Structure 1
Amino acid sequence: MDAPGRARREARIATFVGLASLASAMGIGRFAFTPLFPLMQDSAGITLAQASWIASANYLGYLVGAVASYVAAVKAPLAARWGLVVVAASTLLTAFADTVARWVVLRLVAGAASAFVLIGASAWALALLARSQRLRWSGWVFAGVGVGICLAGLTALVVASVGASARWAWVGLGVLAAAVAALGWRAFATMDAAVRPARPRGLGALDAASWTLILCYGIFGFGYILPATFIPAVARAIVADPRVFAWAWPLFGFAAAVSTIAVSHLARHAKPGAAAGCSFIVMALGVFLPAVGTGLGTLCLSAICVGGSFMVATMACLQQAQRVAGDASGGLIAAMTAAFALGQAVGPLTVTAAAPLREAIARPSAVAAALLLVAGIALLWCEGRTARK
């Protein structure tokens, strides 16, 4: 096979494996609990307060994983390989856990593993696509998050529709995660992306552009997590039929997958800083909607706005990190991911269990929307200042 043919094949494998890895890590390791929470309310009697702690444990695990990846300077393929294995194992074990404490521990472990996969798989895939001059395919890689969310949501929908318990959904998702781990094992082991490990350089080594990204990415984590945690549960409070409320999460995932692909093709010449700023503003609208509206239509619009912007924001911010830090982007991405994880770990804990769910998320949603709006404007201002130089 000639050099162009090898490059094309390498890019296709990187895109597919990257997509599948992010689908497993994020759709299952990170967000599986979101569509399964309403089912676990019915089958296990989980309360809103318990759900908040389970969700926050997962997000705290994500923070631990991001920091560990940064400090340990794990090579990207190695982080992705073993992270996928741990996501699969922890998801399968969750199916057989029967106490809140065990769910908290297992979701914390899954969150940590998902951070390793996101950092490792995205750095690996982007480096291979850049080497083959097909970085425009990155939208397909990040569409994996939306694909995973959609699959997790559809799994919950099927399980709820047949009247089965949430345990079977966890089993199905665990088997799917195991299949992805097996799929990616060889690719990560044999395809060298020449990604430099994230090595701790000290906070003083970060310039103003890096700090802006880190701060805005942390606000992003806090801002989007409320709808990303509670949309299916709020939908259930509006319409009790699982054949209706369970569609909220697949809609969120579908919007995430389509938006990343569409933006990567239609706005390929847009600066990543500008794309991130615009997506933050759209996300702010989606986060604000549940604070002022209580209908199912408002909730669906929120799912479309947040789902359709949060992966565009992720993709654009990670591309901006590569633009700012170059070959050393792994370290900046790890620092950004840590800030993001800290923000999203705090988010669910701002929801009080003393009020009905729709009322409990109203004030935190308004605050989150305001912060996202400010961060979006800041990113646009920084991009404009860069363009004028």
Structure 2
Amino acid sequence: MNDFVSRPAASPAEPRGRSHGPDAARRAALACMVTLAVALGVGRFAFTPLLPLMLHGGGLDLRHGGWLASLNYAGYFAGALGCVALRGAHATIVRVGLAATVLLTLAMGLTQQFWIWAVVRFVAGAVSAWTFVFASQWGLRRLAELSAPEWGGVIYTGPGVGIVATGLIVSAAGGLGARAGWIGFGLISAVLAVLVWPTFGEDRREKCEEKCAPTLHAAGAAKFAAGANASAAPDQPRADAFWLVLLYGVPGFGYIITATFLPVIARHALPGSAWPDLFWPMCGAALIVGALAGARLPLHWDNRLMLAGCYVVQAVGIALGIVWPNAAGFSFGSILIGLPFTAITLFAMREARLLRGEHAAALMGYATAAYGIGQIAGPLVAAPLAAATGSFSPSLWLAAAALVAGALGLVWRACTRGRIAH
């Protein structure tokens, strides 16, 4: 997810970027936000609010729903690893990702064959990983060129915007069924892709700038992506990198059970209530707030301790839905799960740059893969356990415990290794 930090970007001080003005920065940030809303909010997470409709329609049972979720996360895992080797113009890959997301979303509504759904969800996961990485690369580069780093947080509100929109649309029009939902989201995504398509048309100029000013580009990228954190030498002890990869995989498992099955869990706990359709949009709205707030936290704060805090917040959010299974409990729980979602990625990126400096790309690729493994495991554990026990509570307690254990691991590393000098 965070491979973009290794790519060269224009220096924030370049006169050329400044001459474009704030309008260009706003367009770039909003285009990337929309792209992530389509690739992640629809391509990955529209499955969450539509899953109850797919189960109700009789074409899917809970166990197969868990398989579809895990296949999507397996695709994301494969896509994250593939980003390390993927070559091509950033904007071109983003455009391909947008077009592919539209087609894959439409395909979910045009068939009822499980094996086709399985293939589509796997490919959609890979596409969402590619699109996330290269939209981030392109967007952060443009903002660096335009001396507008303050717009960076806007980019990462995209998944939250997509989650809120898809959740509210399903709540309002869920009576039309899952097939109509998939086709509708595909058509909406197509319109959004057309709107932002022209913005991703600057590959030739990017290549020219890379040839003409590689040193300035690299310096600008380091300053923009991680501030003083980029000064670390690439030969930090391997143990620190190992623990970052391992512990970054924990929230992948911790959040995904709730993220996949929240509407199903809430409908079971609150039968006949209108609230269950609103909890997932609440999670998305909190994600937007967390994305903007996380980008404003001081760079000198210990990323490991901030990650630990995020893990605990998500664990509390999960526990609230178990011990307080009513509208208030699910509401507060959804907010606490969503709030640190993007901040976790941000803090892990900064820590990787502390450990590897300009060589952080491979480390973050491995960390993202570990996160993907956690996401794959979550539904595979939760769905059979829920089917066997008749409740999601054991799976949710397991997820909360994993997050707490991950937080303790991060605190332990911070205490034993101390702070890496900036």
Q: Does 1:173 align with 2:185?
A: yes
The alignment covers a number of residue pairs equal to 380
Aligned match of 1:228: 259
Equivalent residues of 1:221, 1:342 under 8 A apart:
yes
Q: Is the 8 A contact 1:238 1:296 kept in 2?
A: no
TM-score normalised according to structure 2 size: 0.81
2:7 paired residue number: none
Separation of aligned partners in 2, 1:121 and 1:352: 33
> Mind listing any 5+ residue stretches in structure 2 that lack a counterpart?
1-14, 211-216, 219-234
Tell me the equivalent position of 1:362: 393
Give the distance between the partners of 2:34 and 2:262, measured in 1 at CA.
24
Aligned residue for 1:260, secondary structure, equals helix
Evaluate the alpha carbon distance shift between residue 10 and residue 328 of structure 1 in structure 2; reply closer, same or farther with a 3 A threshold: farther
The aligned residue for residue 4 of structure 1 is 18
Measure, in 2, the Cα distance between the counterparts of 1:331 and 1:79: 19
Instruction: Letter of the 2:186 partner, please give it.
Output: G
In the other structure, the counterpart of 2:36 is: 22
Summarize the Cα distance change of 1:321–1:368 in structure 2 as closer, same or farther, 3 Å threshold. same
Q: Which residue pairs with 2:171 in the alignment?
A: 157
Counterpart residue number, 1:245: 276
CA distance in 2, matches of 1:73, 1:380: 37
For residue 311 of structure 2, what is the aligned residue in structure 1? 280
Deviation at 1:357, TM superposition (A): 9.1
- Is 1:89 aligned with 2:103? yes
Counterpart among 74, 92, 115 of residue 60 in structure 1: 74
Residues in 2 aligned to 1:357 and 1:147: alpha-carbon distance in whole angstroms: 35
Deviation at 1:299, TM superposition (A): 2.0
Mark the CA change 1:269 to 1:146 in structure 2 (over 3 Å): closer, same or farther.
Answer: farther
Amino acid aligned to 2:86: A
After TM superposition, give the deviation of residue 39 of structure 1 in Å.
1.4
Residue 58 (structure 1) shift:
0.8
The one-letter code matched in structure 2 to 1:177 is S
For residue 113 of structure 1, what is the amino acid of its counterpart?
A: V
Going from structure 1 to structure 2, the CA distance change for 1:278 and 1:295 (only over 3 Å counts) comes to: same
Superposed displacement of residue 57, structure 1: 1.0
Pick the structure with greater CA Rg.
Answer: 2
Query: Does 2:141 match 1:127?
Result: yes
Distance apart, 1:274 and its partner CA: 3.7
Residue 169 of structure 2 corresponds to residue 147 of structure 1: no
**CA distance in structure 2 between the aligned counterparts of 1:293 and 1:358, rounded to whole angstroms:** 19
Cα root mean square deviation, aligned: 2.9
Deviates more, 1:342-351 or 1:174-183: 174-183
Write the mapping of 1:255-266 to structure 2, written as runs, cut at 5 A. Answer: 255-265=286-296
Q: Which residue of 2 aligns with 1:36?
A: 50
Per-residue CA distance 1:170-207 (angstroms, 9 max, x = gap): 112112222333344333330639699xxxxxxx9994
Unaligned runs of 5+ in 1: 197-203
SS of residue matched to 2:201: helix
Distance in structure 2 (CA, Å) of the matches to 1:142 and 1:357: 38
Please state whether the residue corresponding to 2:405 is helix, strand or coil: helix
Letter in 2 for 1:88: V
1:75 shift after superposition: 4.9
Deviating more after overlay: 289-298 vs 340-349? 289-298
Match of 1:335 in 2: 366
Looking at structure 1, the residues matched to 414 and 32 of structure 2 have their Cα atoms a distance apart, in angstroms, of 28
